[in-house]
């Protein structure tokens, strides 16, 4: 398949902008479309309470209702799926996504943003995405704190993923 005809989508959730930053860098580099997952009720990103509210959502494996998806992931050949790490796991809006969109036979690359403790994030994403081909995974440490270096790393990684399939 040529790079031009390959349909690429970056799906992500981001509370504080780090995952959004990486998602946009990847999409820009490889010419992919973007699909942001937005909970109907977002938690307050300011203050310490977010760790309690979000951490509890994650530990109890909750699936917050999402706003309607603006793109159909089934229409794409290659998906990058990104999440912040919440309580050593992927963030709950991703759980809502995995249960509402049953992906199979897709090529998928995983990325996460965290402060250094990703725990079982990728293992759990792989479980939720069984039946797809996972091409790679990459973690970023609060990339907004070091934009230039993380931009470069994300671009190189995205190119490497693309080179695996074309």
Ligand X SMILES: Cc1cc2nc3c(=O)[nH]c(=O)nc-3n(C[C@H](O)[C@H](O)[C@H](O)COP(=O)(O)O)c2cc1C
CA–CA dist 29, 26 (Å, integer): 5
Is 38 or 50 the residue whose CB approaches ligand X more closely? 50
Only segment of 1-9, 48-56, 70-78, 92-100 that touches ligand X (CB under 6 A): 48-56
88: buried, middle or exposed (CB in 10 Å: 19+, 13-18, 0-12)? Answer: middle
Strand partners, 113: 84, 140
Only segment of 59-67, 72-80, 108-116, 151-159 that touches ligand X (CB under 6 A): 108-116
Q: Rule CB under 6 A: say whether 86 interacts with ligand X.
A: yes
CA–CA dist 83, 94 (Å, integer): 7
**Residue 83 CA, distance from chain mean position:** 4
Q: Rule CB under 6 A: say whether 97 interacts with ligand X.
A: no
From the list 139, 134, 141, the residue with the least C-alpha distance to 161 is 134
Q: Rule CB under 6 A: say whether 160 interacts with ligand X.
A: no
CA–CA dist 110, 143 (Å, integer): 16
- For residue 4, the tally of other CB atoms under 10 A from its CB is 7
Q: Rule CB under 6 A: say whether 50 interacts with ligand X.
A: yes
> Which residue of 6, 16, 66, 77 would you call a contact of ligand X, by CB under 6 A?
16
Only segment of 13-21, 24-32, 34-42, 95-103 that touches ligand X (CB under 6 A): 13-21
Q: How far is the CB of 118 from ligand X (least distance, A)?
A: 6
From the list 79, 59, 82, the residue with the least C-alpha distance to 140 is 82
Only segment of 12-20, 26-34, 65-73, 130-138 that touches ligand X (CB under 6 A): 12-20
Q: Rule CB under 6 A: say whether 145 interacts with ligand X.
A: no
Binding positions for ligand X, rule: CB under 6 A: 14-20, 50-51, 54-55, 84-88, 113-117, 119, 142
């Amino acid at each position: 398949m040529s790079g031009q005809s390959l349909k690429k989508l970056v799906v992500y959730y981001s509370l504080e902008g780090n995952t959004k930053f990486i998602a946009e860098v990847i999409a820009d580099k490889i010419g992919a479309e973007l699909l942001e997952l937005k909970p109907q009720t977002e938690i307050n990103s300011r203050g310490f309470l977010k760790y309690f509210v979000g951490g509890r959502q994650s530990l109890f494996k909750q699936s917050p209702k999402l706003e309607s998806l603006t793109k159909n992931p089934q229409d794409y050949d290659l998906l990058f799926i990104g999440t912040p790490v919440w309580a050593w796991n992927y963030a709950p809006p991703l759980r809502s996504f995995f249960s509402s969109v049953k992906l199979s036979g897709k090529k998928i690359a995983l990325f996460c943003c965290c402060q250094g403790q990703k725990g079982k994030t990728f293992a759990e994403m792989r479980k939720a995405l069984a039946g797809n081909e996972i091409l790679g995974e990459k973690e970023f440490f609060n990339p907004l704190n070091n934009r230039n270096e993380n931009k470069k790393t994300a671009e190189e990684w995205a190119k490497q993923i693309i080179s695996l399939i074309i």
